[in-house]
Amino acid sequence: MSSIDRLSQSAPSAAAQIPFYDPTAGADRRASLAAIAEVLQSLLSAAGTLKTQYASPNATGFSVTVSPPVAGVSVHLLLTPLAGYAAGTVVLPAEPADGQEVVVTSTQAVTTLTVSGNGATVNGAPSTLAANGFFRLRYDQINNTFYRIG
């Protein structure tokens, strides 16, 4: 009988701990199933795919934070404001991954657009967004900068 057969059986929770070897630290470690699922999700997300995030601002002066479902995943922020607005802010992810992209589209115009790097520099961010306009940014970790690429 193997040693695993001697363990009691139960349904695991997200907090359940799983042992693994960390070659970076050169030691055995443990992590929760939730943490392992997050890492696996980011590894299984096809490169270049964008996860859509929806936001429907209902007043001028809005602020929308880009929130990837899993850290480091590229996001398509689809803004569907109720009308064209004089001002709005898009806040980029706080802990972006190298190569992570953010695409922002809007069905309505935003006359004065602010793109906040949330701790990172943003090069080439637009200051306005036309109805049905878009822009694309890619993060470079070495420079801690989002660069406009489209």
Can you list the positions of beta strands (E) in 23-120? 27-32, 51-55, 62-65, 75-79, 85-91, 101-106, 110-116
Query: Given this model, what pLDDT does residue 43 score?
Result: 59
Q: For residue 48, give every residue at least 6 positions away whose Cβ sits within 8 Å of its Cβ, in sequence order, or none.
A: 74
Residues pairing with 29 in the sheet: 20
Query: Given this model, what pLDDT does residue 18 score?
Result: 81
pLDDT tens by residue, the chain, 150 residues: 567 777 777 777 878 788 878 888 888 888 887 777 777 766 555 556 789 999 999 999 999 999 998 888 999 999 999 999 999 999 999 999 999 999 999 999 999 999 999 999 999 999 999 999 999 999 999 999 999 998
